[in-house]
Amino acid sequence: CQVTVTPVQPSDCRAMPRRSITDEEIGLIKAMLRRGMRNRDIQFYFNRQDRPVNSGRITGINTGTYGPEVAEATDAALDAFLAGFAPAEVGVVVEAGAARDPTLAEKAVARFVQREGGWFLADGETSDQECKAEFNPRRMEPIVRAIAALANNRGGFVFIGVQNADCRAVGMPNTSFQDTDIVRIADKVKTLLTPTPIFAKEVVSLGGLAVGVVHVEKYPNPPVIVCKDAEGLEDGSILFRYPGQSGKIKFGDLLAMLRERDRAATQTLLASATRLSEIGADRALIVDTEKGELNAGSKRIVIDRALADQLDFIREGEFEERAGAPALRLVGDVHAVNPDGQVVERFEGRALDADAVLFAYLGHEAVREPLQYICLSAKVQRQWLPIFYFVRLAGGDIDAAIEALDATNAVYRVSKQYALERLRGRRSAFERPGGAIVEVVAALQAGQLDELRQRFNDWQIVRGIRGLPDGFEPTDPLFDLLRDIYRDADGNANVRSGVFSAAARLDELEDAGQPG
């Protein structure tokens, strides 16, 4: 019997150090790193009071110096881990004990469970979650309807790419939701609902399936009301989310909502009265955000325009506290005024510009100072802006509008001259159609808007709108179409310029259709 003895080097006799993190956890951390999660976010899932995982350890896993032989977890395994994750009951140690709130994506994923080889919405459609199989950026009314209903109840989620029947995640059929900016959705919501609910947009992955998420917050002072007729929406209606459906609110729920709103208003009033008594009525000032006045007894305090242009207004929570530097929290709208006390139209973060005029017209917004929208024609290099709509908002006096515009110092004389000629009836945005544009005009007159952008390009469509004859009555979908074309134009200056011309033509047609 022959025995072979292999020499063992001293280094081979050293025991491998025992890891504090399991191989499964290392695999999950690697998968999280691949998804772009930050170290501090990853810590939230693995820190325990008896075993904190520091950021350096996660960096070591990322660079391959710690656990290089451990395989990365699959997407399905990571999704399952996130969906079933629950923080430690004793407490989670994250950078000196500060626990991080889960992200919107994590909250959304936590609502799903994995079973029968797929991902399903755990509780189905409830009073705070709704399913949509797909998202159509040209027909966002179903999403707006869901947002209104959720905001009037207790908030919740709209999941896109989830079947209605069994609430199974099937994924979105295309990237329309990912490609649609939240600003575009917000514009649609602002057009159809008042006041505007607060919502956020996200995309999550469930077993490799992309699911769209719209999270809606409960509106603090309901109701949110539909302010414009549209598909599935009726002007003046109040929608409410019930288990499994969104519909018009029932009387009992409306009564409870209004009672709760009154109770909250009373509590706020009592708190203000208590604070006023603590300060003393002789030392307190009252701000009227509707009139833009600060009541100081017999005096009215206004902010001079020259001073207002030097002020940086900040929102609550967006300022940095510094020793010795006073900070003012502003609640409501703050306006600059001229020496006569007239409010000057301003937009948060920017001055009035051509885009603001365009979108105010397309959304038929009731602006505070419509004459300023008319006079802007003298200050921007846009020879076609909607003006007659703002004349009607200002009282319908064409002569007063001409006088105001004529008295405005011109930065761009041609733009001002064009606007004056249009107000006097000497110039029109109408353009006689020819060639393929004739077909566009025919489709517009027939109301065939659904497939219009599939049949013609955007440049042809805006030219077709300019070719609409006198007597044509513009409808809401046409304004939405122009807004979408402008949003999608990006750097295409010709199309964007064409949208302004087309809007000016619709403005003329609307004005011609007004009574006497």
Annotate 263-315 with DSSP letters as a single string: HHHHHHHHHHHHHHHHH-GGG--EEETTTTEEEETTEEE--BHHHHTT-----
- Residue 512 pLDDT > 60: yes
- Residue 104 pLDDT > 70: yes
The Cα diameter of the chain in Å comes to 120
pLDDT confidence band for 331 (50 / 70 / 90): very low
- Asked if residue 330 is part of any domain, the answer here is yes
Helix (H/G/I), strand (E/B), else coil: 376: helix
Q: Which of 344, 369, 384 is the last residue of a domain?
A: 344
Angle between helix 39-46 and 55-63 (nearest 10): 110
- Residue 11 pLDDT > 50: no
- Give the closest residue to 53 by CA, choosing from 16, 76, 84, 28: 28
Same domain, residue pair 201 and 166: yes
- Asked if residue 18 is part of any domain, the answer here is no
- Asked if residue 1 is part of any domain, the answer here is no
DSSP H helices in 350-492: 354-362, 370-375, 388-393, 398-406, 413-423, 436-445, 452-455, 458-466, 476-489
Same domain, residue pair 419 and 473: no
Angle between helix 458-466 and 476-489 (nearest 10): 140
Same domain, residue pair 373 and 485: no
DSSP H or E stretch at residue 502: helix 493-512
Same domain, residue pair 240 and 166: yes
Same domain, residue pair 445 and 327: no
Same domain, residue pair 384 and 494: no
Same domain, residue pair 241 and 143: yes
For β-strands 129-132 and 156-160, DSSP reports them as parallel
* pLDDT digits 0-9 by tens, 241-287: 999 999 999 999 999 999 988 888 888 888 888 887 888 777 777 76
- Asked if residue 223 is part of any domain, the answer here is yes
Q: Which of 423, 448, 469 is the last residue of a domain?
A: 423
Same domain, residue pair 96 and 113: no
- Give the closest residue to 85 by CA, choosing from 55, 117, 112: 112
Same domain, residue pair 331 and 391: no
pLDDT confidence band for 410 (50 / 70 / 90): confident
Q: What values do phi and psi take at 248, rounded to 5?
A: -65, 140
- Asked if residue 430 is part of any domain, the answer here is no
Alpha carbon distance 66, 59 (integer Å): 9
Instruction: Say which residues have a Cβ less than 8 Å from residue 439's Cβ, sequence separation at least 6.
Output: 455, 456
Same domain, residue pair 288 and 317: yes
- Asked if residue 262 is part of any domain, the answer here is no
| Lowest mean per-residue pLDDT among 6-20, 255-269, 294-308, 312-326 | 312-326
Judge contact between 266 and 274, C-beta under 8 A.
no
- Asked if residue 12 is part of any domain, the answer here is no
Q: How many domains does the chain have?
A: 5
- 199 forms beta bridges with 216
Report pTM. Answer: 0.47
The predicted structure's pLDDT at residue 85: 74
Give the structural domain span for 241: 109-252
What is the mean pLDDT of the segment spanning 5-32?
A: 66
Amino acid (1-letter code) at residue 48: R
Same domain, residue pair 317 and 378: no
Alpha carbon distance 72, 32 (integer Å): 9
Q: Which of 205, 230, 252 is the last residue of a domain?
A: 252
* pLDDT digits 0-9 by tens, 157-172: 999 999 988 999 999 9
What is the mean pLDDT of the segment spanning 9-34?
A: 71
What is the mean pLDDT of the segment spanning 329-357?
A: 53
**What CATH number is attached to the domain comprising 228?**
3.30.950.30
Per-residue CA distances from 428 to 90, 384, 505 (Å): 73, 9, 7
DSSP H or E stretch at residue 209: strand 209-216
The predicted structure's pLDDT at residue 5: 42
Same domain, residue pair 236 and 115: yes
Alpha carbon distance 52, 57 (integer Å): 10
Q: State the average pLDDT for the chain.
A: 82
- Asked if residue 188 is part of any domain, the answer here is yes
The predicted structure's pLDDT at residue 472: 94
Judge contact between 398 and 375, C-beta under 8 A.
no
Lookup: tokens for 481: 């179409």
